[in-house]
């Protein structure tokens, strides 16, 4: 098992660069190479923070903890591995995409009265498969096994699996609906939930999107480089927490499961600076804050379904939060302008990692005179 | 925490390089061309769903061939020997044949999807876009002077 985040970082960079190199393929009998993939390598770094609030001290554990605040760092990537393109008998173009994904999550729950704060990690390397049927439908499968551990006390790792199976139907560029099933931990427990999605409006224009259980968004592009969105989304997870502070009463237990969720509602601004770099900042209110501590022993029989027996629970008042991140994209792709299925596929791919959708083509408003020669050579006949 | 600091630092160090290396203007011209064609060809939603993937593929292949051809022309110089000249000639002919093959194959596919009238509208729109682009560049160059 890979232990150090530094090794993960090297792996991410290697995959990013190798993905770029593999994105080339021979075209017919010519020497030139056309990009093979439709997806670019995307790396996202997300930072989130919210202030401490006092916990109810009527219980023994509440007194031991004192207060709760949160800081988290989330590094994610996705890179295309294999792309296959097929032409149907009716000239429609179908394609399949296999992507490698990774998520490296570091959560620091700040409990004011603990002597030493815990850093909880969740690291994952997964696979994502997208099939564009060339008609109206795009299939999406995401399998993401992950390991959680308490890095502060170098605890053992607990292996888990998150996954999603979705069918996305593009009735028109302005209307999309999705259905499927997801095994998710974002609601602070191990849930098997139906996935139901609905989007009204074109992805590259103002649109409203409801994606249960993940998000609710109103997206407002304010130009080719700036996108605002009003959103509400759950955020949470299940982490392994070392019992070094003797929070769990059972003697001999080295750790327990710390689960949390909250609903973040806020305003986000995404700024794109060129094809390779974007950043975003958002802020708003975090509500429905809940913490649970589950003992491993008490829930041993619950291997598949959600945990039921908790030994500590806290519901916290709403607070403000701040969230910011950078998104890097690498590699050349085939063109997919106005291809509603591929716009949808990029949206599905971006949905998981909170990176916005950096692959949607920019929408310039008018011709400008400062375009570079290379781009113009491609468009103007050579002899003209 | 130290590890995460390393990662953040590494990413921050990479950013200026990526920003300098970025070249988003090509894609913006492409996006404008697509918007121009969209406006002038007037496809139905059903036609657009099938047309754009095929047209994008067609355009990618033509772009590649044109780049190949430019490479051939760049390799030419006055002092080139007979063997080099023959190779360049053959490469040029191969590019031209490939261009014609792609044009013929995809024209047929596109015509099959959108019909004769919209196919011709498409070609006229492509031509007009090139004119607009050249006009804009000329005007920009005039302003700079």
**Cβ atoms of A145 and A124 closer than 8 Å:** yes
pLDDT of residue B15: 57
pLDDT at A354 over 90: no
pLDDT at A108 over 90: yes
Percent of chain A with pLDDT over 70: 85
Our CA-based measurement puts residue A235 at a distance from the nearest CA of chain B, in whole angstroms, of 21
Which chain A residues are closer than 8 Å to B28 by Cβ? 224, 362, 364, 371, 375
- Mean pLDDT in residue range A259-277: 92
Mean pLDDT over the full length of chain A? 86
Phi, psi of A120 (to 5 degrees): -105, 135
Which chain A residues are closer than 8 Å to B94 by Cβ? 29-30
- Mean pLDDT in residue range A2-19: 52
Among candidates A45, A224, A367 on the partner chain, residue whose Cβ is nearest the Cβ of B11: A45
pLDDT of residue B18: 52
Could you tell me which chain B residue has the CA closest to the CA of A92? B50
pLDDT per residue as tens digits for the range A281-303: 999 999 999 999 998 877 777 77
Question: Which one of A227-231, B70-74, B126-130 scores highest in mean pLDDT?
Answer: A227-231
The total number of residues written for chain A in this structure? 384
pLDDT of residue B75: 84
Could you tell me which chain A residue has the CA closest to the CA of B47? A92
Q: How far lies A18's CA from each of A21, A39, A145, A330, B11, in Å?
A: 5, 14, 23, 10, 17
**Cβ atoms of A167 and A135 closer than 8 Å:** no
CB contact under 8 A, B15 and A45: no
CB contact under 8 A, B64 and A34: yes
**Which residue carries 């083509």 as its tokens?**
A361
pLDDT of residue A26: 33
pLDDT at A370 over 60: no
pLDDT at A216 over 80: yes
Q: How far lies A329's CA from each of A41, A255, A322, in Å?
A: 5, 38, 24
pLDDT of residue A94: 94
pLDDT of residue A368: 60
pLDDT of residue A169: 97
3-state secondary structure of B78: coil
3-state secondary structure of B76: coil
Which chain A residues are closer than 8 Å to B133 by Cβ? 367, 376, 379-380
Residue A291, C-beta contacts closer than 8 angstroms, at least 6 positions apart: A68, A258, A259, A260, A312, A313, A314, A316
**Cβ atoms of A360 and A338 closer than 8 Å:** no
pLDDT at B128 over 70: yes
DSSP A307: -
Percent of chain B with pLDDT over 70: 77
The answer, for A93 touching chain B at a CB cutoff of 8 Å, is yes
**Cβ atoms of A246 and A238 closer than 8 Å:** no
The answer, for B11 touching chain A at a CB cutoff of 8 Å, is yes
pLDDT of residue A305: 80
**B19: which 2 tokens?**
């920003």
pLDDT of residue A375: 59
pLDDT per residue as tens digits for the range B4-52: 666 666 666 565 555 444 444 556 778 888 888 988 999 998 899 999 9
Which chain A residues are closer than 8 Å to B139 by Cβ? 369
CA-wise closest residue to A57 among A117, A113, A131: A113
Other Cβ atoms within 10 Å of A184 Cβ, number: 21
Q: How far lies A373's CA from each of A380, B17, B24, B75, B133, in Å?
A: 10, 22, 13, 19, 12
pLDDT of residue A20: 42
pLDDT at A273 over 90: no
* DSSP annotation string for A134-146: SSSEEEEEEEEEE
- Show the CA angle centred on residue A309, arms to residues A307 and A312, nearest 5°: 110
CB contacts under 8 A, A 101-160 vs B, are 106, 108, 119, 134-136
- pLDDT greater at residue A80 or residue A301: A80
Picking from A271-285, A297-311, B44-58, which range would have the lowest pLDDT averaged per residue?
A297-311
Question: Which contacts qualify for B88-96: CB closer than 8 Å, 24 or more apart?
Answer: B94/A29, B94/A30, B95/A30, B95/B65, B95/B68, B95/B69, B96/B69
Q: Distance (Å, rounded) from C-alpha B73 to C-alpha B77?
A: 9
Which chain A residues are closer than 8 Å to B14 by Cβ? 328
pLDDT at A9 over 70: no
Percent of chain B with pLDDT over 90: 39
The answer, for B25 touching chain A at a CB cutoff of 8 Å, is yes
CB contacts under 8 A, B 47-76 vs A, are 48-50, 52-54, 56-57, 59-61, 63-71
pLDDT at A248 over 90: no
**Cβ atoms of A132 and A345 closer than 8 Å:** yes
**B34: which 2 tokens?**
């697509």
pLDDT of residue B13: 58
* Mutate: best of A89, A133, A278, A335, partner B, most B CBs <10 A: A335
Which chain A residues are closer than 8 Å to B134 by Cβ? 380, 384
pLDDT of residue A144: 96
Q: How many CB pairs under 8 A join A and B?
A: 189
Residue B74, C-beta contacts closer than 8 angstroms, at least 6 positions apart: none
Q: How far lies B16's CA from each of A14, A60, A273, A274, in Å?
A: 19, 51, 11, 12
CB contact under 8 A, A277 and B18: yes
The burial class, CB within 10 Å (0-12 / 13-18 / 19+), for B4 is buried
**B75: which 2 tokens?**
């390799």
Q: What is the ipTM of this complex?
A: 0.78
**Cβ atoms of A65 and A114 closer than 8 Å:** yes
pLDDT at A82 over 50: yes
pLDDT at A174 over 70: yes
CB contacts under 8 A, A 42-71 vs B, are 43, 45
**A162: which 2 tokens?**
């998150």
pLDDT at A353 over 50: yes
pLDDT of residue B17: 52
CB contact under 8 A, A334 and B60: yes
Report H helices in chain A: 5-22, 60-65, 340-351, 373-379
pLDDT of residue A27: 40
pLDDT of residue A7: 54
pLDDT of residue A250: 75
- pLDDT greater at residue B98 or residue A275: B98
Q: Distance (Å, rounded) from C-alpha A286 to C-alpha B44?
A: 44
CA-wise closest residue to A100 among A84, A122, A77: A77
| Number of alpha carbons in the 13 Å side-chain half-sphere of residue A217 | 28
The answer, for B122 touching chain A at a CB cutoff of 8 Å, is no
CB contact under 8 A, A29 and B94: yes
pLDDT at A210 over 80: yes
Phi, psi of A376 (to 5 degrees): -75, -35
Q: Distance (Å, rounded) from C-alpha A95 to C-alpha A380?
A: 30
Among candidates A106, A339, A376 on the partner chain, residue whose Cβ is nearest the Cβ of B52: A339
Phi, psi of A151 (to 5 degrees): -70, -30
């Amino acid at each position: 098992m890979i232990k150090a985040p530094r090794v993960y970082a090297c792996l991410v960079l290697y995959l990013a660069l190798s993905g770029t190199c593999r994105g080339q393929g021979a075209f017919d009998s010519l020497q030139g190479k056309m990009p093979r993939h439709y997806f670019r390598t995307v790396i996202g770094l997300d930072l989130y923070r919210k202030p401490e609030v006092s916990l109810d001290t009527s219980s023994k554990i509440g007194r031991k903890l004192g207060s709760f605040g949160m800081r988290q760092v989330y590094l994610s990537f996705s890179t295309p591995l294999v792309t296959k393109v097929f032409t149907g008998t009716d000239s429609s173009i179908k394609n399949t995409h296999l992507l490698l994904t990774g998520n490296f999550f570091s959560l620091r729950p700040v409990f004011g009265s603990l002597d030493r704060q815990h850093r909880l990690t969740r690291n994952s390397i997964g696979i994502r498969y997208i099939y564009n049927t060339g008609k109206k439908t795009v299939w999406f499968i995401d399998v993401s096994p992950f390991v959680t551990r308490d890095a502060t006390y170098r605890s053992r790792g607990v292996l888990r699996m998150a996954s999603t199976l979705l069918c996305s139907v593009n009735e028109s560029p302005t209307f999309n609906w999705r259905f499927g099933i997801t095994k998710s931990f974002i609601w602070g427990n191990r849930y098997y939930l139906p996935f139901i999605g609905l989007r009204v409006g074109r992805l590259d224009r103002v649109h409203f999107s409801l994606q249960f259980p993940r998000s609710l968004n109103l997206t407002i592009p304010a130009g080719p480089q700036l996108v605002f969105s009003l959103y509400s989304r759950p955020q949470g997870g299940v982490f392994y927490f070392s019992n070094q502070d003797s929070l769990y009463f059972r003697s001999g237990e080295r750790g327990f499961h710390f689960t949390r969720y909250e609903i973040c509602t806020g305003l986000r601004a995404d700024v794109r600076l060129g094809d390779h770099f974007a950043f975003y900042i958002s802020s708003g209110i975090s509500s429905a804050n809940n913490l649970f501590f589950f003992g491993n022993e008490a829930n041993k029989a619950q291997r598949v379904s959600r945990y039921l027996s908790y030994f500590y629970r806290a519901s916290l008042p709403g607070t403000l939060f701040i969230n910011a991140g950078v998104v890097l994209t690498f590699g050349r792709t085939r063109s997919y302008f106005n291809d509603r299925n591929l716009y949808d596929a990029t949206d599905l791919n971006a949905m998981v990692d909170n990176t916005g959708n950096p692959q949607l083509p920019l929408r310039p408003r008018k011709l400008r005179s400062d375009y570079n020669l290379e781009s113009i050579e491609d468009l103007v006949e050579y002899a003209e | 925490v130290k590890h995460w600091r390393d990662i953040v630092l590494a990413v921050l160090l990479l950013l200026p390089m990526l920003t300098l290396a970025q070249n988003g203007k090509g894609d913006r011209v492409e996006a404008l061309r697509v918007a121009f064609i969209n406006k002038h060809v007037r496809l139905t939603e059903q036609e657009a769903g099938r047309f754009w993937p095929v047209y994008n593929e067609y355009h990618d292949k033509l772009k590649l061939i044109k780049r190949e051809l430019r490479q051939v022309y760049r390799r030419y110089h006055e002092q080139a020997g007979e063997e080099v000249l023959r190779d360049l000639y053959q490469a040029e002919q191969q590019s031209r044949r490939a261009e014609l093959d792609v044009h013929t194959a995809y024209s047929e596919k596109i015509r099959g999807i959108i019909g004769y009238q919209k196919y011709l509208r498409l070609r006229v729109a492509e031509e007009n876009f090139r004119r607009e682009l050249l006009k804009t560049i000329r005007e920009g160059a005039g302003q700079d002077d």
